[in-house]
Structure formats: C-alpha cells, structure tokens
Amino acid sequence: MEVILVVLVAFILALVIGNIRIVAQSNAFVIERLGAYSSTWSTGIHVKVPFIDRIASRVSLKEQVADFDPQPVITKDNVKMMIDTVIYLQVTDPKLYTYGVINPLGAIDNLTNTTLRNIIGELELDDTLTSRDMINARMRTVLDEATDPWGIKVNRVEVRNIIPPESIQQAMEKQMRAERERRESILKAEGEKQSAILVAEGQKASTILRAEADKAAMILDAEAAKESAIRRAEGEAQAILSVQKATAEGLTMIKSVAADEALIRLRSLEALQKVADGQATKIIIPSDMQALAGLVTSVTELAKK
C-alpha cells in the first residue's frame, strides 16, 4: 500500500512538473481548454491542467520582416515589370493571429500581390519609377486595414527593387546618357560664356584704366606746359622790366650830367671808332663830322674845367 502511495505521489509530481511552462519575454501562448480558447499566457511561469488544457500556438510579439519574392505587375501604359517588396509587421493580438486566418504570412503575401497590382495598374512607367513613397504609403494603409482582423499590425512597407524589362532598361540608360551629355554641354557652354564675360570685363576695365591714365598724363603735361609757359613769360617780363629799368637808369644818369646831346654824339663817335678798328673794309663817316668834332672839343674843355 505504501508503495502504491509513493508511486501515486511521484506520478502526480511528475505530472505537475511536466505541465509547468515558462513564457519568455516578447512571446505569448494561446491556451485551449477542451478544444476551446481559454486564455493567453504572457511572460512568466504558468501551469496548465493536465489532459484538459492544450497550448494551441506559440506566438512571437517581436516585429517581423516578411521578404516576398518579386512579383510581376503591369503599368497603365502596358509595361511589364518585376517589383520586390519588404513588409515589416508585428502581432498585436495572439488570439486573432491564431484563429483569424490560416497561414497569416501566406495570406499577407497574396494580399500584397493583389494590392501592388492594383496600385501599379493606375500608374505609368515614369510615375512608377518616381513614386516609391506614394506606393509604400498606399500599400501600408491597405495591408494594415486588411490584417487588423488577424491581429497583425503592418508598420511599414518598402518597395526594395523595381526591375523593368531589358529593353526599357537600355532605353533608360540611353536617356540618362543623353541627359548627362546635355548637362555637360550646358555646363561647358555656361563656363565658356562666363569666361568670355570675364575676359570682356577685364578688357573693358583695362581700356578704362588706360584711358584714365592717358587723360591723367595729358592733364599733367598740360599743367607742366602751362607752368613752363607761365615761368617763361614771367622770366621774359622780368628781363624786359630789367632792360627798361636799366635804360631808364641810363637816361637818368645822362640827364644828371647835363650832356644829353653832346654825350650822345660822343658815344656815337666811340661806336664809329670801334667799327673802324681795323676789321671793317669800309668806314661810313657822318655828314656832320665838323659838328661832331666841335662836340668833341667842347667835351674836352668841359672835362678840363
């Protein structure tokens, strides 16, 4: 009897210990009791009732990344391309995630393909290539609303890659090459234009400076000529004034000795003597030589007195 009791106690302990569960952080367990939903275990230690409770699913509450294969889509202008998308989602309700839909990630994949085809079908090729933000926003809105009954929240959607057909890629490369060449030509023309403008402005400035320098030189030359003329005129005036002054002084001296006429004749005779000083071949004798001789005699007498 004691052996049976020990075995029974050991069996109960093993049964209890075997039904103890520890839920880790960012995880949740969905528990069913007799086949029906019972509760959701969060982080911590839990014990389920043996043979009655069952762990229906273990759900991770971390954000997940769903990377789906590229999907073929057709644009509004009938261009077929491949688009690769990445979806960031998170389980917010483990119960709805467990019972809402079979294979939630597969359902999201199909929903993503349908939504992407609807959005791209409204856009042309150029709009598709330049409207990634708009595509991401519209897909996130549609997927988040559709997955809400499944206990899933779509945080964001990213169009990772858009792959147009080979012919479109070649045409785009040619277009980009032509655009780069056009920009290069524009930049080169702008550089040449700017260079020509700078050269013209430099020549203009040089001409202006040269003209101003010539004008300044002419002004300085004119000022120098004017100053020289003024000084020359002043010198000539001073010379004339000196001559006039000397002449006036000479006349004054002649008058002071009271021999105006006689002295003049005497001076004339001295000048005649110098002229006939053996250098001239002809001697001009004034007609009034007798009067002149008398003048000399008078002057001699005056000198003796």
225-258 pLDDT, tens digit each: 888 888 888 877 787 877 777 777 766 765 665 5
Does 69 share its domain with 155?
Answer: yes
Q: How many domains does the chain have?
A: 4
Among the listed residues 25, 18, 65, 57, the one whose alpha carbon sits nearest the alpha carbon of residue 40? 57
Mean pLDDT value of segment 57-81: 89
Which of 43-57, 79-93, 263-277 shows the lowest per-residue confidence on average (mean pLDDT)? 263-277
Q: How far apart are CA 113 and CA 152, in angstroms?
A: 18
In this structure, what token pair is assigned to residue 47? 């014990």
Is a pLDDT exceeding 60 seen at residue 293? no
pLDDT at position 7 = 80
Give CA separation, 260 vs 195, 231, 248, 266, 293, in Å: 90, 38, 14, 10, 16
Mean pLDDT value of segment 198-211: 87
pLDDT level of residue 192 (50, 70, 90 thresholds): confident
pLDDT at position 261 = 57
Does 227 share its domain with 303?
Answer: no
Is a pLDDT exceeding 50 seen at residue 193? yes
Share of the chain above pLDDT 70, in %: 81
Which of 84-98, 195-209, 235-249 shows the lowest per-residue confidence on average (mean pLDDT)? 235-249
Is a pLDDT exceeding 80 seen at residue 298? no
Does 187 share its domain with 128?
Answer: no
Does 159 share its domain with 68?
Answer: yes
pLDDT tens, position by position, 267-277: 555 555 555 55
pLDDT at position 304 = 45
Does 128 share its domain with 183?
Answer: no
Q: Which of 104, 138, 164 is the last residue of a domain?
A: 164
Q: Residue 282: give the domain boundaries.
A: 260-305
pLDDT at position 65 = 92
Is a pLDDT exceeding 70 seen at residue 174? yes
pLDDT at position 302 = 47
- Mean per-residue pLDDT of the chain: 81
Classified as helix, coil or strand, 289 is helix
pLDDT at position 93 = 93
Does 303 share its domain with 287?
Answer: yes
Handedness of CA 131, 135, 138, 140 (dihedral sign): negative
Does 276 share its domain with 220?
Answer: no
Q: How far apart are CA 42 and CA 46, in angstroms?
A: 9
